[in-house]
Structure 1
Amino acid sequence: MKNFYSLLISLFFVLNIQSQAIYKTINSYKLEGDRELKIQLPRNYNPEEKRTYPLIIVLDGDYLFEPIAGNIDYQSYWEDIPDCIVVGIKQANTRSDDFFYDDESFFPAHEGAAFYEFIGAELLPYIEDNYKASNFRIIVGHDLSANFINYYLFKDQPIFRAFVALSPDLAPEMNYRLGERIKILQQETFYYLATGDADIKSLRSSIIESDSLISSIKNDKLLYKFDDFEDANHYGLVGRGVPKALNQIFGLFKPINAKEYKEKVLTYEGSPYDYLVKKYEDIEYFYGFEKKLIENDIRAIAAASNKKDDLESLEKLTKLVKKNFPDSMLSAYYSGMLYEKEGNLRKALIQYKSGLLLQPSQFIDKEIMLEKMYDTQEALND
């Protein structure tokens, strides 16, 4: 299992070559000096487009940026999660100051308070002024920085929607305070917490206690996930926790899989097409951006429409495909499928033939179009 995760992390780093980090320096009046940033933009990032991207702020960016950026690049390539903007803050020489908290109040003080304000008052405006970042923001930390991210939950209106705490070194009273704050959350908030059986003993004990407390809280606005990894130490658990956290945060965004198809699409009270519309509306509501229609979901809804003999649903899906993919074989393929279901094989054949002149998609290529064309022609001759 160790070798598997090592291979997976290596693969993330290799793929990440195609989306190299941009190094920027921001001058901060809060910190009274410069702070270096690492920024990864999506592969096909276009500043002229209207779309925006979820923003991921990575503390301890000197070593934590690459695992996060690599995971984002890999999973978004396969459309499992959305393209994101990843920003890492370099803190190697300022770490103890940045995460400083008062010995009595246990809240950020002095340099720690300045760093806390820097993120909200300077860093976020800088990123939003220069890049297409959405309001759906994630913050990630490990060890001391994983404790620090919790302080942003205590704002009346938290500036982050998702928190990833990897083996946090929790401040005194943080468990109690965190529990009290989570009880009264008013906005859907994702919270991921992780430790491992070989984690630092003192940290692990506090984290297990924190999980017990959070798990007992009843609040529909909290979307919580905890992992206690086997055979994982304080540093190794990062490579395993990051993809699990992203899966938790972007669970709704994921393509329709076999489980969702069987348990939700086929059992949905409305039509399969209605399910698709609601899924994409929910994504926009939760994440604040519109998801582009993907072929995997088209196939799932078409299969459900066929299984239920729901021609109306298939017709609506076909129109949606034509609108979104006018130059793709997809439009001809699903138009032909609709005509076949209606019993109009001649029109179906015309659609399949016309598709040969269009661009292939992820799953539909020339061979498939020819096969459909020959099958339809044979059915006509019978």
Structure 2
Amino acid sequence: MKNFYLLFLGLFISLNLQSQAIYKTIDSEKLEGQRELKIQLPRNYNPEEKRTYPIIFVLDADYLFEPIAGNIDYQSYWEDIPDCIVVGVNQADTRIDDFHYHEDTNFPIGTGAKFYEFLAAELLPYIEDNYKASNFRIIFGHDLSANFINYYLFKDEPIFRAYVAFSPELAPEMTNRLQQRLSILKQETFYYMATADADIKDLRASTLKAHDILSTIENEKLFYKFDDFEDANHYALVGRGIPKALNEIFGLFKPINAKEYREKLLTYEGTPFEYLTKKYEDIEYFYGFEKELIENDIRAIAAASNKKDDLESLENLAKLVKKKFPDSMLSAYYLGMYYEKEGNLKKALLQYKNGLLLKPSQFVDKEIILEKMYDTQEALND
């Protein structure tokens, strides 16, 4: 029943995404021909905005694109991960040639070398020239393609910041080469690998062996994660691994949850507002793009400020919300909260009244503003 449900969900996602995907054909001098692409843009993508988006390359896009793009669309909708541009390369008829490597050197040769250059020297520039792509790039692969993505790590300056390898069919010496390369990386790099108990026997064995070696690497710039799924085969593990990989890669980006609130925010040596500032600065540093302030994080910082009786943090937060959301009830709500905490109930009441003329947010609507008005008015009358 569980497998049937996952299959049904996958088909549902696939059917819904087909109408959203952009289908392109790109001419390639490297491949001496054309290659079909699938591209998914964020829901509210606006080419006129200054904002840029992480770019996710999907090899074996004939079957990997839809589940990956569906997960990204779903998780970004709930603000768990950023909006991303997803680019898939169709390889149904060419994958053996595309991933070809030399039997002695075990590095791409012939058609494999051409595909390697196509992606780095033609496809990437094409996407960057035509879409609002940031410098934070992720690449996904499965078995043969999961081995191939590793070759981009051996460039002097790797073009990807995150690598997702599902049940990789590793070339000879790849594990040792990975160990050497990942040990000396100087830029923060995410590496995720997965297998499962019912994976193809040889691939499972080599993946587990690779994990034993890679897990010993000591490099503060490397963020390595591994999963060994139960009750999953070579194909089902992909469906399980996609959201796990995204969660690991964008762990810092995620909204402040209850655990982070208790264990990090409340125990932070600085003020709650300083915690918010640092969190968003770290996100920009790690991912190369600025995260827009979200209501979930505003609520967490306000709660911590109130709990710590930190009036200055609450004031700074209210001013930031006013700046970021001048037309939203959020600005009136948090300014009113600050004035209440300060003891200036008249100013608080005025803010709440002004809030009735503004637009509701995800959590603050007319009913909440009215409730705050009545409570403040009652306090004034006491």
TM-score, reference length from structure 2:
0.98
Task: Tell me how far apart the structure 2 counterparts of residues 307 and 83 of structure 1 sit (CA, whole Å).
Answer: 33
- Rounded to whole Å, the distance in 2 between the matches of 1:108 and 1:191 is 21
Q: Which residue of 1 aligns with 2:209?
A: 209
Corresponding residue for 2:235?
A: 235
1:123 corresponds to which residue?
Answer: 123
Q: 1:224 corresponds to which residue? A: 224
Question: CA, structure 1 residues 332+14, in 2 after alignment: closer, same or farther (shift >3 Å)?
Answer: farther
Partners in 1 of 2:278 and 2:11 — Cα distance? 37
Equivalent position SS for 1:171: coil
Preserved contact between residue 15 and residue 74 of structure 1 (Cα < 8 Å): no
Other-structure match for 2:352: 352
SS in 2 for 1:135: strand
* Alignment-derived partner of residue 104 in structure 1: 104
Distance 1:158 1:344 in 2: 56
1:318 aligns with 2:318: yes
Distance 1:357 1:14, change over 3 A: farther
After superposition, the Cα gap between the structure-2 partners of 1:4 and 1:343, relative to the gap in structure 1 and judged at 3 Å, is farther
Equivalent pairs, count: 381
Deviation of the 1:70 alpha carbon: 0.3
2:81 aligned residue: 81
Q: Which residue of 2 aligns with 1:94?
A: 94
Residue identity opposite 1:220 in structure 2: E
In the TM superposition, 1:17-56 aligns within 5 A as: 20-56=20-56
Residue 69 (str. 1) matches residue 105 (str. 2): no
Measure, in 1, the Cα distance between the counterparts of 2:101 and 2:222.
26
- Contact 1:272 1:304 (C-alpha < 8 Å) held by counterparts: yes
Tell me which residue corresponds to 1:255.
Answer: 255
Equivalent residue runs for 1:148-163 within 5 Å: 148-163=148-163
- Inter-partner Cα distance in structure 1 for 2:329 and 2:58: 40
Cα deviations across residues 291-349 of structure 1 (Å, max 9, x unaligned)? 00000000000000000000000000000000000000000000110010011111111
Task: Note the 1:288-307 alignment, pairs <5 A.
Answer: 288-307=288-307
Q: Secondary structure at the match of 1:157?
A: coil
Q: Deviations over 1:228-270 (max 9, x none)?
A: 0000000001111000000000000000000101111111111
Q: Is the 8 A contact 1:23 1:37 kept in 2?
A: yes
- Unaligned stretches of 5+ residues in structure 2: none
Cα separation, 2, equivalents of 1:95 and 1:11: 26
What displacement does 1:381 show?
1.4
Q: Which residue in the other structure is 1:170 paired with? A: 170
Q: Any residues of structure 2 matched to 1:180-199 within 5 Å, and which? A: 180-199=180-199
Supply the distance in 2 between the matched residues of 1:15 and 1:315 (Cα, whole angstroms). Answer: 45
SS of match in other structure, 2:256: coil
Deviations 1:130-178 (A, max 9, x none): 0000110000000100000000111111000000001111111111111
1:308 corresponds to 2:326 = no
**Distance (whole Å) between structure 2 residues aligned to residue 273 and residue 15 of structure 1:** 41
Maintained 8 Å contact 1:139/1:163: yes
Partner of 1:266: 266
Matches for 1:132-143 after TM superposition, within 5 Å = 132-143=132-143
**In the alignment, is the contact (CA less than 8 A) between 1:81 and 1:254 conserved in 2?**
yes
Deviation at 1:379, TM superposition (A): 1.2
Q: Which moved more, 1:19-28 or 1:298-307?
A: 19-28
Q: Distance in 1 between matches of 2:307 and 2:156?
A: 48
| Distance (Å, rounded) in 1 between the aligned partners of 2:47 and 2:26 | 20
Indicate the SS of the match to 2:195. Answer: strand
CA distance in 1, matches of 2:55, 2:245: 15
In the aligned structure 2, how far is the partner of 1:150 from the partner of 1:295? 38
- Distance in 2, Cα, partners of 1:346 & 1:11: 54
C-alpha separation in 2, matches of 1:247 and 1:5: 19
Q: Distance in 2 between matches of 1:257 and 1:349?
A: 30
SS at match of 2:30: coil
RMSD: 1.2
Q: Secondary structure at the match of 1:285?
A: helix
- Name the aligned partner's letter for residue 261 of structure 2: Y
Deviations 1:94-115 (A, max 9, x none): 1100000011111100000000
Q: What is the alpha-carbon distance in structure 2 between the residues aligned to residue 316 and residue 241 of structure 1? A: 40
Aligned pair 1:341/2:338, yes or no?
Answer: no
Paired AA for residue 280 in structure 2: Y
TM-score (norm 1): 0.98
Paired position in structure 2 for 1:362: 362
Q: Is the 8 A contact 1:16 1:74 kept in 2?
A: no
Q: In structure 2, how many angstroms separate the alpha carbons of the residues matched to 1:142 and 1:51?
A: 31
Report how far residue 11 of structure 1 moved.
Answer: 6.0
The sequence identity of aligned pairs, in percent, is 77
Any conservation in 2 of the 1:15–1:73 contact (CA below 8 Å)?
A: no
Q: Which residue of structure 2 lines up, in the alignment, with residue 144 of structure 1? A: 144
SS at match of 2:97: helix
> Secondary structure at the residue paired with 2:378?
helix
Q: In the TM superposition, what is the alpha-carbon distance from 1:16 to its structure 2 partner?
A: 3.8
Q: Take 1:260 and 1:151, find their aligned partners in 2: how far apart are those partners?
A: 36
Find the aligned partners of 1:3 and 1:257 in 2 and give their Cα distance.
32
